[in-house]
Amino acid sequence: MTNHIVLYEPLMPANTGNIARTCAATGATLDLIYPLGFELSDRNMKRAGLDYWDNVNIVEHDDLNAFMATLPSTEHLYLITKFSDLIYTDQDFSDTASDHYFMFGKETTGLPEDFMHQYRDHCLRIPMTDKVRALNLANTAAIVIYEAVRQQGFAGLEEHHVYPHDKWK
């Protein structure tokens, strides 16, 4: 089982770099749906991801249809949007026999409206006040992926960090 953070046409390289670092920390795959608003060699993206790039599995897709064609089913496809009555914490992500795909839209316009309508039963939201239009994309991805790995018992993640020195005892 693999969790996937799927970015639909991301525009901001620093967001994608930060999300890549979150993928490295959680073992998630980063799926990028073209076109991107930057080059993968962008130094802002590379800087945000620090030196973790070797630990990130990045899968590139030519467009939304090409991405959808790679899914074995849409059962575990989740569209993260503020336009949903379903809250992400109410969803069961504990199935460790299947991959889970958490799709996030473009920073400026989100996911295509017709696509969200087609998969409206797969839409999830993070509650927030009406004082902001949206949360930062990298923060949103981190919130959702960590809920998924929590429900999956933090499988494959280090739950207790062993300090290298006795000074912490």
Residue 1 pLDDT grade (very low, low, confident, very high; cuts 50, 70, 90): confident
Is position 105 within any domain? yes
Q: Could you list the residues known to form a binding site for S-adenosyl-L-methionine, using ranges.
A: 80, 105, 126
Q: Could you list the residues known to form a binding site, using ranges.
A: 80, 105, 126
The CATH code of the domain that includes 59 is: 3.40.1280.10
Is position 69 within any domain? yes
Three-state SS letters, 13-59: HHHHHHHHHHHHHHCCEEEEECCCCCCCCCHHHHHHCCCCHHHCEEE
Is position 164 within any domain? no
Is position 122 within any domain? yes
**Domain of 27, in residue numbers:** 3-156
Is position 67 within any domain? yes
Over 60: is that where the pLDDT of 166 sits? no
User: How many distinct structural domains can be found in the chain?
Assistant: 1
Reading the block at residue 31, the tokens are 């799926």
Is position 27 within any domain? yes
Is position 169 within any domain? no
Is position 163 within any domain? no
User: What is the tens place of the pLDDT at every residue in 37-96?
Assistant: 988 876 776 776 567 778 899 999 999 999 999 999 999 999 999 999 999 999 999 998
Side-chain-side CA neighbours of 85 within 13 Å: the count stands at 2
R_g over Cα of the chain = 16
Taking the model in full, what pTM does it have? Answer: 0.91
User: What is the tens place of the pLDDT at every residue in 99-157?
Assistant: 999 999 999 999 999 999 999 999 999 999 999 988 999 999 999 999 999 999 998 88
